[in-house]
Amino acid sequence: MAKNASPSYEQMFYMGGTGISGVRNLSASYSVGQKQVRILGAGFVRDVIAEPLQGEVSMTRDLLYQDPFLNLTGEAPVSGTLLYGVQIGDGNEKVYGFNTGYLTSYAINCNVQDVPTVDTTFTVFGQMGSGARQGQLDYSGTAPLQTLGFVNHESVFLTFNGSGTNRAVSASQTYDINRVPIYTLDQKTSEDYYAPSQVLTDYPIEITTDFTIEMDDYETANMIDNIRSGNYRTVGVEIRLGAKAETLDGNTIIPVGTGLLCLTDNSGSCLGDDGDGITRYEFMSTTGHLVSESIETAVDGLLSVNLQFKDYYNKD
């Protein structure tokens, strides 16, 4: 008898035990590196695993609330589960899960006329695959956030030298985090011997910031002068809902008796209400080095320039 496929509305993704909203797409994969063992006089004998096993989980999400993934740039691993099939909540869902996942790439992208999106990639050093509901690979937990604030390009505030007269049309920031698995040669007593004994973070974390502006009176740096002396700029981006009167505060479901007048998470805590609105994402770069400028024009377009900055974060 034919079976139905699993549509997206019958799926739910959990990370660290908390439901994640706004997922546009998600992919998970692994590969096993093999090589042939050959012996003189015998030719090919067998194939063996030639490298440590690891998987990868990537996803793109709309920025709907204060993003919890940015906190995963540290040392701690995380687990995740995708529930799918039948009806979510009836106990008969299928499970695809992983554990010992480390964030290796985090990128936020803002463009005019688009909702800001977040792209994340996790490298998985533990178990990964299908499992049973409430079984070993089921790391589901609390429901996703129920009170969400939707943002668009009008909620993105980009400041830079010349932002008063030159129009910003896109901004992005990427964190590249190098993880180093450590394997040992001691005796292995379980299937866990495929996993590393420790995963280290190779600092510094490289932070790349790009933004594109349509040029009015902006002047690029001279390439030679930039190399000789360095050209440092102050760049800031803040993504927030509008003035407090324009937020979703009046339309959210506020727990009875709490007296809270803000967007809340599942624990009842306010999501970063700073008095002017609900801040979703904010960064300020005062040391980032301008490493690239590129201008572009076309017969059916406007003169624009893309600027790229590099910054580095050390643990200490």
* pLDDT of residue 251 exceeding 70: no
**Does 44 map to a domain?**
no
Cis peptide before 181 (omega within 30 of 0): no
Q: In 3D, which of 115, 120, 8 has the Cα closest to residue 63?
A: 115
pTM for this predicted structure: 0.80
Q: What is the mean pLDDT of residues 71-94?
A: 78
**Does 34 map to a domain?**
no
**Does 36 map to a domain?**
no
Q: Give the N- to C-terminal CA distance of the chain in Å, as an integer.
A: 60
**Does 69 map to a domain?**
yes
- Of 302 and 276, which is predicted with more confidence? 302
pLDDT for 185 equals 80
- Of 192 and 273, which is predicted with more confidence? 192
pLDDT for 243 equals 43
Burial class (CB in 10 A: 0-12, 13-18, 19+), 218: buried
pLDDT for 155 equals 73
Domain count, the chain: 1
CA gap 316, 313 in Å, rounded: 9
Q: What is the mean pLDDT of residues 158-169?
A: 74
Confidence class of residue 287 from pLDDT cuts 50, 70 and 90?
A: low
Q: Which domain holds residue 292?
A: 8-28+53-313
**Does 47 map to a domain?**
no
**Does 35 map to a domain?**
no
Give per-residue pLDDT as tens, 174-216: 999 999 988 888 776 666 667 788 889 999 989 888 888 888 8
For the chain, what percent of residues have pLDDT higher than 70? 69
Which two structure tokens, joined as six digits, stand for 206?
């490289």
pLDDT for 258 equals 42
Give per-residue pLDDT as tens, 112-161: 888 888 999 999 988 898 888 888 888 887 766 655 666 777 777 777 66
